[in-house]
Amino acid sequence: MTTISLSDWTQSPEIVVGEDECRRLGDVARTHAGAADGHAEYLLYELDRARRVPDAQVPSDVVRLGSVVRYRDETGLERTAELVLPEDANEAEGRLSVTSSQGSALFGLRAGQTITRPRPGQGSHRLKVLGVTPPGSDEPGPSAA
């Protein structure tokens, strides 16, 4: 079992999700629930705690399906990936599944936010969102200061 500190959980940032996207991703996560890695269950947890707003009111710097997110992990490695459904994922091509460890952690975060989440059998990892390009946009969205 992975242990993280209480402060990591109590400092989890608020996340935002569109109402329709929340329903859609809830269905996706329930379809993938029960996998040994537990990432779909973590996505369900994140969806449950998220602040839901009409889809048109999701801020442009929120990581959602189709967003391109630039982020840094606890080792300092920076990556850029598009957040996609599991069937469209291909990490080698920069498409990260929303039900993956990093995808489920990044979903709903805004530029500048950091989250710590457990990795079964591997401790925990910390991810910081550096910038978000909204779905369907060629223009980079807001970046973290």
User: pLDDT tens digits for the chain (145 residues)?
Assistant: 344 444 444 467 999 999 999 999 999 888 877 665 667 888 888 899 999 999 999 999 999 999 999 999 988 999 999 999 999 999 899 999 998 889 989 999 999 999 987 766 667 779 999 999 999 876 655 555 4
Q: Which long-range contacts (CB under 8 A, 24 or more apart) does 115-123 make?
A: 115/12, 115/13, 116/4, 116/8, 116/11, 116/12, 117/4, 117/42, 118/2, 118/3, 118/4, 119/2, 120/2, 120/37, 120/38, 121/2, 122/2, 123/2, 123/4
pLDDT value of position 35: 64
Q: Looking at residue 143, what is its pLDDT? A: 54
Backbone angles phi, psi at 41, to 5 degrees: -65, -35
Q: Is the CATH code 3.10.50.30 the one for domain 6-133?
A: yes
Stated pTM of the model: 0.82
Query: How confident is the model at residue 140, as a pLDDT?
Result: 55
pLDDT for position 1: 37
Give domain limits for the chain. 6-133
- 33 CB-near residues (< 8 Å, 6+ apart): 40, 41, 44
